[in-house]
Amino acid sequence: MAELTGTQRKYLRGLAHGLEPVVRVGQKGLTEEVEREVDRALTHHELVKVKLAGDRDERRRVAAELCRGLRAELVGAIGTMAILFRRHPEPKERKIRLP
């Protein structure tokens, strides 16, 4: 997937505003189960919020690791919340149309 433009990131952050986090990364950190759950959520929804525990550096590291492992884009991160986006592999199944 090509890197998102600033306009596309802003659009996706707007779409994510009303979303609730679908996955919470807790004290145990990023486990295989958590990664699988985020993968399922991205496949189904394309745009998800993930609540992260830990200090700022730990949250940043976990978000980057999630994006790298799941081939997703980090759209934004505010406080303990990270917004991830990954297009559905099937064009007919895509729910979000980027500007």
Helix (H, G, I), strand (E, B) or coil at 37: helix
Domain count, the chain: 1
What pLDDT is attached to residue 13? 96
* Mean pLDDT, the chain, integer: 93
Give domain status of residue 41, yes or no.
yes
Helix axes 56-70 and 32-45, enclosed angle (nearest 10):
60
**Domain limits at 35?**
6-93
Please report, for the domain that includes residue 73, its CATH number.
3.30.110.60
d(CA 61, CA 59): 5
Please state the pTM of the whole predicted model: 0.92
Q: For 30-47, how does the pLDDT look when each residue is reduced to its tens digit (9 = 90+)?
A: 899 999 999 999 999 999
d(CA 90, CA 43): 10
Give domain status of residue 1, yes or no.
no
91 CB-contact burial (10 Å; exposed 0-12 / middle 13-18 / buried 19+):
exposed
Give domain status of residue 69, yes or no.
yes
Give domain status of residue 99, yes or no.
no
